[in-house]
Structure 1
Amino acid sequence: MLFYVIAILVIVMDQLSKYLIRTCIEINETVTMWGIPLTHIENSGMAGGLFQGYARLFGVGAVLFVMVVLYFRRNEEMKGALIDSSFGFLVGGALGNGIDRLVFGQVTDFIIRSGGILNLADHAIEIGGLLLIIFGVVNWFKNKD
């Protein structure tokens, strides 16, 4: 259940935030909200603006990624709150950006960070990846004994 709750919350928060950015901030405009600078950009590629124009292809890739995660969730070794949380963030982030890519042909980004301009789905994917690494390390130590 934790997997579904996290995935749905990530998707809803991501899509709501992107909707608000698209409707309230012009493209390339920067505003400050609660001391946080936000810049509205649209990215038809992938991270860092690479491979511009292939958004729908990456959207299909997101759907395939979700199918792989759902397959791995059936694995008996991959059970527990940590892996469910990891997969929830990864799937929520992938679907959040996948929806943008398939519906709009581009992803709305707005959170300025040292590595570029991202969105909530991107951050969810980073959290999911970190949790997956922690899960792997914990399992390695468990199986080492």
Structure 2
Amino acid sequence: MLFYFIALLVTLVDQGTKMAVRMYMEVGDTMRLGDSGMQLQHYENSGMAGSLFQGNARLFGVVAILFVAGMMYYRRKGEIRGFWMQAGAGFMVGGALGNAVDRFVYARVTDFLVFPSGRGILNLADVAINVGVVMLVIGMLIRAFQSYRAKRLRNALPKIERSQ
């Protein structure tokens, strides 16, 4: 349930913010957000990250749908389990769906978040995908450590039994 809740919430919030940007800002308009150094800038991207492969938005929309299908498959198979992995997958799927909607409906993705680092321009779907990757990695590390600990415990039991 957590997976679906996060995926739906991310998709809706992403689409809502993009709608607000399209309604209230012209393409190219920039707005500073306080003293944080962060700003909003309305940008329309018909390619992928870094504005690569412009004009291929629908192709990348198909890639996003295939990604979502793959995540659903691995989730159903039981590979994605536990809080961190379920939440991470939810963020990634919600982000992929948010951008896929833009790609199919508008043939481009609305970007608007410019961080002080100056490393490109993003939207909330992009941020959610990054958060999801980090959460998924944390979940994988937790699973690996638990597996390692269980293996060590199994290997230690015969030694304990032999010593008695």
- Which TM-score band applies after superposition, normalised by the shorter structure? over 0.9
The offset of 1:32, in angstroms, is 2.7
TM-score scaled by structure 1? 0.95
More strand by share: 1
Which of residues 94, 97, 117 is equivalent to 2:96? 94
Q: How many residues align?
A: 145
The offset of 1:34, in angstroms, is 5.2
Q: Which residue of 2 aligns with 1:115?
A: 119
Asked whether 1:141 is paired with 2:145, we answer: yes
Q: What residue identity is the alignment partner of 2:51? A: G
**Once the two structures are superposed, what CA deviation does each residue of 1:77-102 show, in whole Å capped at 9, x if it has no partner?**
43221111011000000000000001
| Contact 2:82-2:139 within 8 A present in 1 as well | no
Query: Counterpart of 1:74 in 2: which secondary structure?
Result: helix
Which has more radius of gyration? 2
List, as ranges, runs of 4+ consecutive aligned residues in structure 1 with deviation greater than 3 Å.
Answer: 33-36
The offset of 1:33, in angstroms, is 4.3
| Contact 2:85-2:140 within 8 A present in 1 as well | no
Question: Distance between the aligned counterparts of 1:111 and 1:79, measured in 2?
Answer: 31
| Contact 2:83-2:139 within 8 A present in 1 as well | no
Return closer, same or farther for 1:68/1:29 CA change in 2, 3 Å cut-off. Answer: same
Q: Which residue of 1 aligns with 2:12?
A: 12
Query: Counterpart of 2:47 in 1: which secondary structure?
Result: coil
Q: Which runs of 5+ in 2 are unaligned?
A: 150-164
Q: Which residue of 1 aligns with 2:161?
A: none
Q: What residue identity is the alignment partner of 2:3? A: F
TM-score scaled by structure 2? 0.84
The offset of 1:119, in angstroms, is 0.2
Question: Distance between the aligned counterparts of 1:20 and 1:52, measured in 2?
Answer: 24
Question: How do 1:1-145 residues align onto structure 2 when only pairs under 5 Å count?
Answer: 1-33=1-33, 36-113=38-115, 114-145=118-149
The offset of 1:144, in angstroms, is 1.6
Identity %: 49
